């Protein structure tokens, strides 16, 4: 009789099926030629490997997050296009993060936009590039968060931080904490038309006197058109004025609570600026609101020299059809020079969700990799903020072709500290107001700087007991 045999076969089939159903699933194996057997002594049990593989497949992907970054673009370089390119590369590496750039004219515009948003009860961007010197005001207003906790999550934060040029990292610290990361950094430099200098038999200036004489010699008039020997923007005067004060022997401040506007050396520096027009007739009189146009005027030959940001280097080199010289600003005494660092740092804003802050930090880490720091310097003329950027193949090839890029970094050797105090916005505006009154002949330099000192000390009093 065949029934018992069929019954036994059916029971055996059910037992086999139940065993198969209970066995852990094993992922499909790669093609045979791609298999690499682990060493026998380190091979994990099959069951353990399968469990780990299942855990990996079940690990949740990061939740999508969108961040805004506010960014200033008021220099002669295609900053917006460059940053968008970095964002594309970042989003390819971190597909769950979307970065929305919001571009403003200048650093002040970015800070004003953030202040307006916060004061209006809105949420600020997660990330912004603002002046490094705005640190005290941003901390006092409780707009930003310290970055120490983010750094703690890095494998080697000391190596990362120590790679930044000291002149740029110095004003990232306050009250024992790190608040910003340098990125779009620059220095004040003197651009000069080396071809015109050679044609006129002139050497690059090495003092105030030789500088004034060269500017005077290179000022020409053709009909109603004057080609100036020098343009020296002073619509936003403190930064470009600082090298004059440093070159005279005294910066315009000593520390976050002490300004030196009425120091004799500062007064002498302001008078020299005025003398360049009134005595030497080498540049236009009064306040020169030519920040935006000076690089183009220089590149097209309308002026023989300009004092400007190193961030305008690439734009100038693309436009000029002559040899462009770059150097620090000549000092008062023979063989002395001066400069001052400038530009913006990355800040992470308070008042945004933690996941946005984390994403903002990832973006900072990404764009401050040496290869991107080098690329940003090459494309803009801003000084590469990390020493390792100068060791990349791209930067080595660039500085061999464009030695001016090293000249901008060398200017930092002669740099004093950029103006940064408590209550900076008000103190800086006081200095601007009175310095421009002196430039326009509304007050003597001595009167203007004495008044600026008095008002600045009063503005600092509540912040510096």
Mean pLDDT across the chain, nearest whole number? 88
Tell me: the pLDDT tens digits for 388-418? 999 999 999 999 999 999 999 999 999 999 9
Residue 49's pLDDT is what? 43
CATH of 188-341+417-461, one of 3.40.50.300, 3.40.309.10, 3.40.190.10, 3.40.250.10: 3.40.190.10
Residue 314's pLDDT is what? 87
Q: Which residues 6+ apart lie within 8 Å of 234 measured at CB?
A: 240, 241, 273, 287, 288, 289, 435, 436, 439
Long-range contacts of 333-337 (CB under 8 A, 24+ apart): 333/207, 334/206, 334/207, 334/209, 334/210, 335/206, 335/207, 336/207, 336/247, 337/247, 337/411, 337/414
Name the residue ranges covered by the structural domains of the chain: 65-185+342-407, 188-341+417-461
Residue 459 has pLDDT above 80, yes or no: yes
Give residue 30's pLDDT band: very low, low, confident or very high (50, 70, 90). very low
Mean pLDDT of 56-66: 74
Give residue 42's pLDDT band: very low, low, confident or very high (50, 70, 90). very low
Where are the alpha helices (H) located in 23-169, listed in sequence order? 46-58, 79-93, 107-119, 135-140, 148-152, 157-162, 166-169
Residue 48 has pLDDT above 50, yes or no: no
Give residue 74's pLDDT band: very low, low, confident or very high (50, 70, 90). low
Query: Would you state the structure tokens that stand for residue 266, as one six-digit string?
Result: 């500062």
Element (H, E) at 460: helix 445-461
Residue 29 has pLDDT above 80, yes or no: no
Mean pLDDT of 11-16: 37
H helix count then E strand count, the chain:
20, 15
Give phi and psi for 221, each to the nearest 5.
Answer: -125, 130
Residue 37 has pLDDT above 50, yes or no: no
Could you tell me what percent of the chain has a pLDDT over 70? 86
Cα R_g (the chain), whole angstroms: 30
Give residue 380's pLDDT band: very low, low, confident or very high (50, 70, 90). confident
Residue 381's pLDDT is what? 85
Q: Which residues 6+ apart lie within 8 Å of 53 measured at CB?
A: 26, 27
Tell me: the pLDDT tens digits for 351-378? 999 999 999 999 999 999 999 999 999 9
- Taking the CB of residue 247, how many other CB atoms lie within 10 A of it? 27
Tell me: the pLDDT tens digits for 204-219? 999 999 999 999 999 9
CATH topology of domain 65-185+342-407: D-Maltodextrin-Binding Protein; domain 2 (3.40.190)
Say yes or no: do domains 65-185+342-407 and 188-341+417-461 share a fold: yes
Residue 261's pLDDT is what? 98
Mean pLDDT of 18-40: 34
E-only strand ranges, 302-409? 305-309, 324-327, 329-330, 337-338, 341-348
Residue 87's pLDDT is what? 97
Tell me: the pLDDT tens digits for 119-135? 999 999 999 999 999 99
Q: What is the pTM of this model?
A: 0.80
């Amino acid at each position: 009789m065949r029934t018992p045999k069929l019954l036994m076969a059916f029971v055996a089939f059910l037992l086999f099926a139940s065993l198969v159903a209970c066995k852990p699933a094993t992922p499909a194996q790669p093609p045979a030629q791609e298999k690499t057997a682990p060493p026998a002594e380190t091979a994990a049990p099959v069951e353990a490997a399968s469990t780990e593989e299942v855990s990996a497949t079940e690990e949740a992907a990061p939740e999508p997050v969108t961040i805004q970054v506010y960014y200033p673009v008021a220099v002669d370089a295609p900053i917006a296009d460059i940053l968008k390119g970095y964002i594309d590369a970042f989003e390819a590496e971190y597909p769950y993060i979307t970065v929305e750039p919001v571009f403003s004219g200048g650093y002040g515009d970015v800070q004003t936009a953030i202040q307006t948003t916060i004061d209006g009860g809105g949420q600020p961007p997660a990330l912004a590039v603002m002046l490094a010197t705005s640190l005290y005001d941003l901390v006092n207003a409780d707009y930003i968060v310290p970055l120490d906790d983010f750094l703690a999550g890095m494998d080697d934060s000391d190596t990362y931080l120590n790679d930044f040029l000291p002149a740029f990292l110095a004003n990232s610290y306050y009250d024992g904490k790190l608040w910003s990361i340098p990125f779009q950094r620059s220095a004040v430099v003197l651009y000069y038309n080396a071809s015109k200098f050679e044609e006129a038999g002139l050497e690059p200036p090495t003092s105030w006197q030789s500088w004034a004489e060269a500017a005077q010699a290179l000022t020409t008039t053709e009909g109603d058109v004057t080609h100036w020997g020098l343009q020296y923007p002073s619509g936003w005067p403190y930064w470009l004025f600082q090298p004059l004060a440093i070159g005279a022997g005294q910066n315009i401040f000593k520390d976050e609570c002490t300004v030196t506007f009425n120091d004799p050396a500062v007064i002498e520096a302001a008078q020299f600026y005025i003398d360049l027009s009134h005595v030497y007739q080498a540049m236009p009189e009064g306040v020169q609101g030519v920040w935006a146009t000076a690089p183009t005027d220089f590149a097209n030959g309308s002026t023989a020299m300009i004092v400007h940001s190193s961030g305008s280097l690439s734009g100038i080199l693309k436009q000029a059809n002559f040899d462009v010289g770059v150097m620090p600003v000549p000092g008062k005494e023979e063989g002395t020079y001066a400069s001052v660092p400038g530009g913006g740092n990355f800040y992470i804003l308070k008042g945004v969700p933690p996941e946005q802050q984390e994403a903002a930090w990832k973006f900072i880490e990404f764009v401050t990799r040496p290869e991107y720091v080098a690329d940003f310097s090459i494309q803009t003329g801003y000084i590469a903020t990390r020493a390792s950027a100068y060791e990349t193949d791209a930067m080595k090839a660039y500085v061999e072709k464009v030695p001016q890029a090293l000249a901008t970094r060398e200017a930092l050797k002669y740099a004093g500290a950029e103006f940064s105090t408590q209550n900076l916005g008000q103190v800086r505006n006081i200095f601007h107001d009175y310095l421009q009154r002196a430039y326009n002949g509304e007050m003597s330099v001595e009167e203007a700087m004495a008044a600026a000192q008095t008002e600045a000390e009063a503005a600092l009093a509540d912040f510096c007991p």
